[in-house]
Amino acid sequence: MRDAILSLDLCLGACVVALEVEGAGLVAQRQAPMERGHQERVAPLVRETLAEAGVEIARLRRIGVTTGPGSFTGLRVGLAFARTLAMTLDCQCVGVSSLDALAASAPATGVTVAAIPSRQDLMFVAFYADGAPVSAPDQLAPPEIAARLAEIWTGGRLTLVGPGARALADLAPGGEAVDIAHPAAAALARIIAGAPVGRFPPKALYLRAPDARTLAERGALG
């Protein structure tokens, strides 16, 4: 019987593991803050989560992972782990944006802005109305975010969510800032359970060229 879904987020300064069983909902989770060491911690955290729920790894029918934007190292480790485990178990592998996962951690009514700090005062942002995306994820400066928000938000509930929420609070005095460092495990599990299966395995969403590169990538660039 394959009735379990494993969800992972390593993009935002933590390792979040959520395990959902069909008919029972979220049965176990782990949320371990970390800036480095993802590669060493993710497998033990997954084992602990499965053991807590009493679920054999062979019951996994789907593995989902956040694809970014976020920590270069974390998202690459998460993707490699999820794809390798899914291939080993011959089960589904899906990816979701870390911005979508943050938005799912906020109330699903009104306008939501998911925000992750980038560099040089820029933000990775995405906008949602009643839980549905209304623009593609982007990397913007605060004035551009304010202009985009003015087009989308015409009143009612406004929620800023994510590690960049408080930095944007001045742009929207009427909004509520939900300052969370990473997606909630329950929200992560919910959107991964509903994510469509692509023709190809999930890949990283950077929204810009990564600062770090592998040796092969550096060689290709000359």
Enumerate residue ranges in the chain where pLDDT < 50: 209-222
pLDDT confidence of residue 168:
93
Pick the CATH number of 106-178 from 3.30.420.40, 2.40.160.100, 3.40.50.720, 1.10.10.10: 3.30.420.40
Domain 4-98+183-221 classification at class level: alpha beta
What are the tens digits of pLDDT across the range 133-163?
998 999 999 999 999 999 999 999 999 999 9
- Please tell me the predicted confidence (pLDDT) of residue 207: 83
State the span(s) of the chain assigned CATH 3.30.420.40.
Answer: 4-98+183-221, 106-178
List helix spans (H) across the chain: 38-53, 72-89, 98-104, 142-152, 185-193, 215-221
Helices 72-89 + 38-53 axis angle, to 10: 50
pLDDT in the model for residue 208:
67
Read off the tokens for 38: 């993802």
**Size of the chain in residues:** 222
The upper half-sphere exposure of residue 90, i.e. CA atoms within 13 Å in the direction of its Cβ, equals 0
Q: Give the whole-angstrom CA distance, residue 216 versus residue 93.
A: 26
Q: Which residues contact 135 (CB under 8 A, 6 or more apart)?
A: 126, 127, 148, 152
